[in-house]
Amino acid sequence: METTIHFGTDGWRAVMNDRFIFGNVRLVAQAIATFLIKEKRSSQGVAVGYDARFMSERFAQEVCSVLAGNGIPCYLPARDIPTPLTAYSIVDKQTAGAVMITASHNPSEYNGMKFMPWYVSPAGPEITSKIEAELATLEHNGVRAASPSSAEYRNLVQPMDTWPAYARHIGTLLKPPQSRHRVVVDPMYGSGRGYLKDALADRGASVEEIHGWRDPLFGGSSPEPSAESLRELSERVKETGADLGLAGDGDADRFGVVDRDGAYVTPNQIIALLLWHLVKNRGWKGPVVRTVTVTHLVDAIARDLGLDLVETPVGFKWVGEVMREQGAVLGGEESGGLSVKGHIPEKDGILANCFALEMVDTAGASLGEQLEVLFKKYGRFYNGRANVRVSEEAKAELMKRLTQDPPQTLAGKRLVEVNRKDGAKLIFDDQSWLLARPSGTEDMVRIYLEAHTQEDLAALKQALSKTYSALLPPL
C-alpha cells in the first residue's frame, strides 16, 4: 500500500489503478479525519464532492465511509459537481472543510483528492504537512470505516445540494444583466455541465451547450480549456454568431474564453480586463494578487490605478491566503484560476465566465475591442509558455545556473532583477521577462516568457535555447 503520498500545489493526484486506489484514498481520508479530530473541529462535519471522472462517486463514498467511521458528519451530493460548489459548501454548511475528488484538468487516467479547510482556500503547507505526517505513521488496519449500509453511515452521511445557495451568492457579486447575449458554453464533458449554462442563463444570456454530457474520457483529450482544446467551441461561436464562447475544465474551477470572432482570449488577458472592469466600472477598491506567471499588464494597470500588487508563488493556496488576509479585489493565476473580493478565496471558473459576460454587457464591445483599449494605454504584452522534458540532472543544473549565475544579457536585453520566489524569474530592462520553474513530480521544466512584441518574444526564447543548449532541447 502506498503511504508516501504528498500534496502538491493543489492536492494529491495520481494515476488510477496505480497509486490512486481505494486503499490509498481511505488512508488519506483517515489522515484528514485524524487531523480534524486533533484540531477539535470534527463535529462541524465535512462536505465531500466529486468530479465526472471514472469511479469518482465511488471514491467519494469511500471518503464518507471513513469520515463516518470516525464519527464525523459529512455531506454528499447526488451527482458530480464543480469544485467551486464543493468549496462553497463549507460556507453554506459551516463545515470544518471539504474533500474534493478531482484531478481537475489532468488527463482522464488521473484522479485526485483535495482538502479545503474551514477557511475555504486549498490547504496550505501548515495543514498538508500535518496530514502527511499522519499518513506517514498510518497503517491500513488503522483506518476506521463505516459500511454504507450501516446505521452509522446513514445517520452521519447526509445529502447536499449547494447550487441554490451558490447561485444566490454569485448573484450578489455580479451586476444585474442589461441585455440578452448569445453564448455557447463548453463544459468539456466535465462537472460544469448544466451548472455553467444555468449560471449564464440567470445573467440573461441565451445559452447553447456543447459537450454537455458526462464522459470520463473527456472526448479523448485532457479537459483543459486551452486554445487548442476549444477549437470546436471557437467554430461553433463563429457558426452561430454568438457573442462569446465560455468553457470550464474538468471540475470547472478554471475558465476558458472565446471572443465573438472565434479568437481565444487568454487567462492573462481576462485577468487584466477584469481588474480594469472591477476598479473602473464597478468602483471596487483594494490590492490585487497574482502568481509569478501572470502577465505584467496587471502590474501596469495596478500602478496606474494606485493599487497595491502582491506576487505569490504558483498555486491558488498562496493567492487565496492573500485574498483572505488583505481583501484583494482580484486574485489570478496564468493557468485560468480566478476569484474576486467577497467570494470564496478559491478559484472559480463559473464565476470567471459570468464576469466575462458582464464585461461584454457593460462595455457594449467585444473582449478583443476592450483589450485594444488597454494595449493603447499600457502597451502590448505577448506571452509564451513551454513544458520542456529534461533529465533530473539537467533540470537541477539549469535551475542552479539561472538562480546563481544568470546571463547578464539575453537577446540584447540587460538583466535587472532575478526573482527567486518560485523558480528563477529573470526580469530585463524593458520589463520583458522569462521564468523557469522545475516540476516537482516530473522530469520537466516549465518556461514562461513575456515581451512587448512577438519578435522580442521569439528572440528571448531562441536566446534561452542557445545559451543553455547543453541542458535544454530547442524551445
Each residue of 374-432: pLDDT tens digit? 999 999 999 999 999 999 999 999 999 999 999 999 999 999 999 999 999 999 999 99
Phi and psi at 106, nearest 5°, equal -70, 160
**Predicted local confidence at residue 1, as pLDDT:** 43
| In the predicted structure, residue 161 carries a pLDDT above the cut 70 | yes
Please give the Cα distance from 47 to 44 (Å, whole number).
10
Comparing 408 with 179, which gets the higher pLDDT? Answer: 408
Average model confidence (pLDDT) for the chain? 95
Please give the Cα distance from 142 to 31 (Å, whole number).
10
Please give the Cα distance from 135 to 1 (Å, whole number).
12
CATH class, 12-160 region: alpha beta
**Predicted local confidence at residue 258, as pLDDT:** 98
| In the predicted structure, residue 179 carries a pLDDT above the cut 80 | no
pTM of the complete model beyond 0.85: yes
**Predicted local confidence at residue 441, as pLDDT:** 67
Buried b (16+ CB within 10 A) or exposed e, 175-187: eebeeebebbbbb
**Predicted local confidence at residue 439, as pLDDT:** 82
* CATH architecture of the region 182-263: 3-Layer(aba) Sandwich (3.40)
Q: Hey, is 429 helix, strand or coil?
A: coil
**Predicted local confidence at residue 5, as pLDDT:** 85
| In the predicted structure, residue 216 carries a pLDDT above the cut 80 | yes
Q: What string of DSSP letters covers 95-139?
A: -SEEEEE--TTS-TTEEEEEEEETT-SPP-HHHHHHHHHHHHH--
| In the predicted structure, residue 82 carries a pLDDT above the cut 50 | yes
Please state the rounded mean pLDDT for residues 75-92.
98
Q: Do domains 12-160 and 266-347 have the same CATH topology?
A: yes
| CATH node for 382-467 | 3.30.310.50
Please give the Cα distance from 124 to 116 (Å, whole number).
9
Nearest to 13 by CA among 84, 112, 80, 94: 112
Q: Which CATH number fits domain 266-347: 3.40.120.10, 3.30.465.10, 3.40.710.10, 3.30.428.10?
A: 3.40.120.10
Please state the rounded mean pLDDT for residues 286-290.
98
User: What is the residue extent of each domain of the chain?
Assistant: 12-160, 182-263, 266-347, 382-467
Cα separation values, 99 from 64, 120, 394, 398, Å = 10, 11, 37, 37
Percentage of the chain modeled with pLDDT above 70 = 99
Please state the rounded mean pLDDT for residues 257-274.
98
**Predicted local confidence at residue 7, as pLDDT:** 83
| In the predicted structure, residue 2 carries a pLDDT above the cut 50 | no
What is the amino acid identity at position 117? Answer: P
| In the predicted structure, residue 465 carries a pLDDT above the cut 50 | yes
| pLDDT confidence bin for 124, thresholds 50/70/90 | confident
- Which residues lie across from 45 on neighbouring strands? none
